[in-house]
Structure 1
């Protein structure tokens, strides 16, 4: 584990830094850096403390270092000692109040920033309006002693993308910010964008080690193509290519005995519907009248495991850790609501732990299968997707034969599973890992940038 040091600010203006002897032993160090700011100083071994780095008020002011009394990491490269890392979380939707600076998402960000101390990073939230390009500073939102505070800080060592939706992600102004900070300032930027279902499927299809997890998936082509898939699988799902939260998903079922077609979906008022039609054309004419079919994908239906006649699927979170390795950080079962096309809570679904719905033996068997699949899929996605990915939320299913299937991969996974009291420890773990990965990226960018940008 990397050693961390308490950064202490002494009440003087001397350009001197006191460091633990073990940190600076046999090293030529001439500058100290914090984020994008650095300055020349003199270094001396601390006379009696091996757990802290002492800087002066004068150094603090030049570096724009907010003294929040946190233990931080120290990296030495090219005669520069960097303290931090300073991690910026980029988002939108700010308000004018410090009580709820990011509106309804304030609680999520306050929880995310609360892992600063155990991880050893100085993390803040910012938007494009908080950047002063001329001065090279950002007015960031920090949490200290459960209160939101604003500090002017240098540009960060690493940026974690938490834009809330595709609309903000495609905003030209926000795209420009991302481009500038990555290209002009070479700041590593992780979790860069939302996934497109069809694009992800096509990328994973090229990786032989994971193709057995992929249900047959196509863009909408024609009614006859859906007919072919229905005769093959009995039921299919129609999904928006860029959908999320289970919105817009329709299950189409063909009854071979009666030649009737059924469509299960959720209406805008959150009511689950199951409707019967004499033909596929009639079904589309009524159910999809106002929907652009060129934005839909058709996916093979899977006969999932069922508990009390209700379908079960699984949310599996994976995160990159402080060593840059993929880890499974949470698994939850999701049991569908009565008559629902999805297992989402909004549709009457319930979140359960594996142990709640399976015997000990089955729970262990299914957990192992889900973990193996999620780790293989994470590595395959990382190799076949642009940008740096730090976390993924997978929606996986297990069929009646015990085979695992991938339904969706989410680059900015929702956190509804953590409302279950037995999963709250995993909520904390996922947050810790998402910032611990920033420490790993900062170290790579400072010590081995060629490995990040190869």
Structure 2
């Protein structure tokens, strides 16, 4: 916590509005049982309003607002005290560090961050099934950022009362509490099918339109749609391997003549599922197909490309696939290497690289996914085992930040995090294989990536704080 004497210096004026003030560091919010209708603040903050000869008279938490009086805390305590009646009216779940925003005569405490998902169970110990541990860590990261974070789904919303019975995670484990509509929503739906369901889209639209709640990371990226957007930007083009959608035999053959190997990928796939590699060396008569089936890596040889496609895709699914240029990647022990790079928006609304790790394909595997016997290495570990120049690390960071800005510009909605899969060829050139709006977290099982793992949990909450501030500005402007 900051020294009491420094609090006034942390009450900054927002540069975008000129009159939004905010405590830069959170203060502990506690319930006071001996008062009514009052928010008690540290003495130096109270003196700031005394000098201005004006005091706030409204207090908000999420979508709830109540009239309040302001007083100073007896004994110069370094905290915020809120009388029990206001505590109950506003729907605060428990004592916790919060930020304090002031816009005109209105104060906002929080932020209140809702993490929207699906797949809930009736088990309070594991309310989101196998993902409960991930969400517990995500919600618990709020102790580092200030403000409340909770997990909820469509079925937990009470539209009549404007509240949500959300899941919070504390030292006592998971608990439910009824809170107002949040300041911001972080979308973490588990799959495309759930995301595209009518009920999901109706709920998200209602939250945005009726409550003006900013929502970030909506939707999964479509590989082809994203490729089409990126190839129109001159700064993205150098990172893009040649890619064609719904390929015909002639398309695949022409690309094989150029690159000697290509990848066929489901246009809306993920986790490496359904990827097949076709290989046709120029000095070889046969076509080879590398793929995975029944948890085994397989390699088949064919006399012709039509025969290969007919056998590998008996249901004629080429219309649902992409064909992508093969890249001769850098390798370790003859196993190809690619790189996972995470980028996140931070508390200033700026992109930063939060993680870079190498993924090495399992023996005989065409992808580097851990479920296919892939292996994760930190960059320092990999540099000890192969000749990896620092320039490669710098180029990966530059590529990730450049593409993050471009994707943000060309994507509907607010993007707050991206997981990139990059390849680096033998000349050191960086290639984009895939970008994910909801990146997997398998790489963080590596023991030396725990600091990065924690950072990628904290950053979405920091960005939510940034969006909350922007939302308060927007709503205040709309009221005037």
TM-superposed CA distance for 1:100, in Å, is 0.6
* 1:419 correspondence with 2:441: no
Contact 1:334 1:351 in 2 (8 A): yes
TM-superposed CA distance for 1:432, in Å, is 0.5
Contact 2:248 2:318 in 1 (8 A): no
1:262 match: 288
TM, length-normalised to structure 1 = 0.96
1:242 match: 268
* 1:65 correspondence with 2:92: yes
Alignment CA distance shift 1:451-1:288 (3 Å) = farther
2:67 match: 40
Contact 2:30 2:96 in 1 (8 A): no
TM-superposed CA distance for 1:290, in Å, is 3.0
Larger displacement relative to structure 2 (13-22 or 76-85): 13-22
* 1:315 correspondence with 2:340: yes
In 2, Cα distance between the equivalents of 1:118 and 1:371?
26
TM-superposed CA distance for 1:49, in Å, is 2.8
Contact 2:289 2:299 in 1 (8 A): yes
1:432 match: 458
* 1:279 correspondence with 2:304: yes
1:3 to 25, 33, 42: 25
In 2, Cα distance between the equivalents of 1:346 and 1:217?
26
In 1, Cα distance between the equivalents of 2:144 and 2:218?
25
Contact 2:167 2:175 in 1 (8 A): yes
Contact 1:355 1:363 in 2 (8 A): no
1:357 match: 382
Alignment of 1:331-346 (within 5 A): 331-346=356-371
TM-superposed CA distance for 1:22, in Å, is 3.9
Superposed CA deviations along residues 16-50 of structure 1, whole A, max 9, x for unmatched, are 11112443522531100000001011112334436
In 2, Cα distance between the equivalents of 1:354 and 1:164?
29
After the TM superposition, list the runs of 4 or more consecutive aligned residues in structure 1 that deviate by more than 4 angstroms: 448-452
Unaligned runs of 5+ in 2: 1-9, 11-23
In 2, Cα distance between the equivalents of 1:71 and 1:450?
24
2:13 match: none
TM-superposed CA distance for 1:227, in Å, is 0.8
State the superposition RMSD in angstroms.
1.7
TM-superposed CA distance for 1:355, in Å, is 1.5
Larger displacement relative to structure 2 (365-374 or 402-411): 365-374
Alignment CA distance shift 1:291-1:114 (3 Å) = farther
Alignment CA distance shift 1:167-1:180 (3 Å) = same
Contact 1:444 1:451 in 2 (8 A): no
1:17 match: 39
TM-superposed CA distance for 1:305, in Å, is 0.3
Contact 1:11 1:56 in 2 (8 A): yes
Contact 1:91 1:163 in 2 (8 A): yes
1:93 match: 119
TM-superposed CA distance for 1:346, in Å, is 1.3
In 2, Cα distance between the equivalents of 1:258 and 1:425?
48
Alignment of 1:47-446 (within 5 A): 47-49=74-76, 51-67=78-94, 69-267=95-293, 269-290=294-315, 292-359=317-384, 362=388, 364-446=390-472
In 1, Cα distance between the equivalents of 2:285 and 2:468?
60
In 2, Cα distance between the equivalents of 1:49 and 1:266?
66
- Secondary structure in 2 matching 1:179: helix
In 2, Cα distance between the equivalents of 1:203 and 1:133?
37
Superposed CA deviations along residues 331-388 of structure 1, whole A, max 9, x for unmatched, are 1100011111100111111111111222498353221111110000100100000000
Superposed CA deviations along residues 68-122 of structure 1, whole A, max 9, x for unmatched, are x321101111311100000000001111111111111101001111111111120
In 1, Cα distance between the equivalents of 2:271 and 2:475?
37
2:4 match: none
Contact 1:316 1:396 in 2 (8 A): yes
Contact 2:55 2:70 in 1 (8 A): no
In 2, Cα distance between the equivalents of 1:140 and 1:385?
29
Contact 2:247 2:321 in 1 (8 A): no
In 1, Cα distance between the equivalents of 2:138 and 2:120?
16
Larger displacement relative to structure 2 (163-172 or 69-78): 69-78
- Secondary structure in 1 matching 2:269: coil
Q: How many aligned residue pairs are there? A: 450
In 2, Cα distance between the equivalents of 1:165 and 1:81?
38
- Secondary structure in 1 matching 2:76: coil
- Secondary structure in 2 matching 1:362: coil
